[in-house]
Structure 1
């Protein structure tokens, strides 16, 4: 999929996800907060776009890894323009192996900290912890993806490149 195709698919999926992503939550209802994860997961599943979203993300990962810096800048810009897609679209929850760890790390890099670097840092820590538990040598993959990542410090917590470089599980 070329950049224009990725952009068109992200735009379409962003519209599909927007209703769920922007649905207000009644914070005065304790049941709403207790069941929020399941409610959101069910609403996203009901949209029936998981396969399309995964195909777009796989195309992003491939292009981000093999393209040049202008491709990576364009892909980061798409994640910025399509916040509902960025929030809702994820690679499958269950994964194994270094290649899938790398794909998830590239996805994180392409999101370029999203709306909150703290969420991305916590996600990165969890991702790396799981990879280490699975016996994956994370250091070379972290170095590879850090080199592809943005050097712009968006929120005062370091750039995505810096955040990935600082991540060393067990140290």
Structure 2
């Protein structure tokens, strides 16, 4: 785990200037161009492949680990917020395995800085998976069961959010 943390800390330091870059709120074009600007800034860093590789390793450790190991992984995402913000799996996917990987990543982030954003992410992931013909409920049950049961922000735990989502959307 120490080697993983060293790599996450290195990438977090690389991502930090982009993640914390102030935005000119007076410029009306700033909001309109924000996504493209951020994507261009991240692309200039040229670490996407490295970040995805360590993120996949983290997800494997999280999935295979016990309760203590999963808590340690969640702490990584809490400690290295620029990495948490910038490191992502590919946005285009259509398999159950990739849906599962995205849910594991969501679970490991454990609500990130805002549960509402994570609920929207969960909704998008499930909608996309269903459109691809993936039976989401067994995967939601599996990942929900390994998720944290801590209610960090008063909106329920990641476990309750994930476990209730499939039942709520299919009923």
TM-score, normalised to structure 2, is: 0.97
Q: Which aligned pairs between 1:1-171 and structure 2 lie closer than 5 A? A: 3-168=1-166, 169-171=169-171
* Whole-Å separation in 2 of the counterparts to 1:170 and 1:148: 21
Deviation for aligned residue 1:170: 3.8
* Whole-Å separation in 1 of the counterparts to 2:15 and 2:103: 23
Aligned length: 169
TM-score, normalised to structure 1, is: 0.97
* Whole-Å separation in 1 of the counterparts to 2:161 and 2:54: 25
Over residues 113-140 of structure 1, what are the superposed CA-to-partner deviations in whole Å (9 max), with x where a residue is unaligned?
Answer: 0000000000000000000000000000
Q: SS at the partner of 1:78?
A: helix
* Whole-Å separation in 2 of the counterparts to 1:27 and 1:117: 25
Q: List runs of 5+ in structure 1 lacking aligned partners.
A: none
Deviation for aligned residue 1:32: 1.1
The root-mean-square deviation of aligned C-alpha atoms, in Å, is 0.7
* Whole-Å separation in 1 of the counterparts to 2:129 and 2:4: 28
